[in-house]
Amino acid sequence: MMDLTILAKYPFLNNSREYIKKNGPSVKDLLESLVYERARIIGIERLDNAFKNRDVGERSLATETDCIMELLSYPIARMIAVCVGDNFFKRRYALGEAYHAYKNLINEQTSFLIKVSKEFNLNVKYAEENKRIKIHFKDYLRNAPTRYKEWKMINRDMEKGYIYVSHKELARLLEEALRRKINKDLDSRECDETIYKVFSSEISRFQNMVMIHRKKMRTTPIGKLSVEKLPPCIKNLLSAIQAGENVPHMGRFAVVAFLNSLKLSVDEIMKIFSSAPDYEEDKTRYQVEHITGSISSTSYSPLGCEKMRTYGICPEEQIDEICKKIRHPLNYYYRKWRQKEKEEKTSTKEETGL
């Protein structure tokens, strides 16, 4: 069995679950006993930190009690996240756990990272002949941010189906594997009625936080952009991105190209994407700068309505009267602006009697 401090730092490990199963309290005691009130408080703290800071946060693990409470707070946080019942919230929490694990993993021995890799069924080995870490290319492609130049296969050393990575890169791959695993686990679970009753006030608070966040994103102009005037297709894609839903590549491309055509800067576009639960600044910046032509020779044009339908990203059930009269999402936005100007002029005339 691993050291208790290690189990507390990495509560997603099989050994951590085994420890709780063997030595932990009953579910009833965990949820109701004063002895475990601190674990419940930390569980809520994990969720708050993940939502606000994209990191579940660091706490002291100086004593055995510290470690036990930290370890028990993990399943509590997961159960509450499921009961909040919101994709955005669950994705943000998963990212917070994964990023926190990454920050710890980069300081561990390479041998430990290889052990953790096995828990995610990643084929990782340490090549004694050249003292380097290597991972099977299938596992690499599944977890690597290959949109970046340095992560692309063509720029990696590969031998007999294995790609060489550094210690820090392996930690980054494990971060992604953990994020995906937690997402999958949370999506596969239903809210337990007992959990909902015990944490009802906190669950309501988290749901309210998400609602306020969404409302703010819907109504806050960014740069010269008015969110209320966006066509249904772009508004739909933005809502999905911010909810942590799986938006296809062409959907993200369509949003960036559209916003770029409205003369929003890279930073303004980044601000929109920053509200997504799985937002990573360096990854998003690379994609945005590539599509807008900031780091490439081509600035891509936004997709027209026909192509939006072809790629399945036109919400046909939300088509309104303006949609029926235009062939491009940009024209929808411009018409909305002209419509507003006419309404303002009419209102002014009525007020002045002119």
Give the span between the Cα atoms of 191 and 90, in whole angstroms: 13
pTM over 0.85, yes/no: no
Residue 214 lies in a domain: no
Domain identity same for 157 and 257: no
SS (H, E, C) 31-78: HHCHHHHHHHHHHHHHHHHHHHHCCCCCCCCCCHHHHHHHHHHHHHHH
Total number of domains in the chain = 3
Domain identity same for 114 and 101: no
User: For residue 226, what are the domain limits?
Assistant: 220-349
Domain identity same for 78 and 118: no
SS (H, E, C) 269-299: HHHHHCCCCCCCHHHHHHHHHHHHCCCCCCC
- Taking only the tens place, the pLDDT of each residue in 24-73 is 999 999 999 999 999 999 999 999 999 998 899 999 999 999 999 999 99
Domain identity same for 140 and 270: no
- Taking only the tens place, the pLDDT of each residue in 249-305 is 888 899 999 999 988 889 888 887 876 766 778 888 888 998 998 887 788 899 999
Are 59 and 70 a contacting pair, CB within 8 Å?
A: yes
Residue 210 lies in a domain: no
Residue 132 lies in a domain: yes
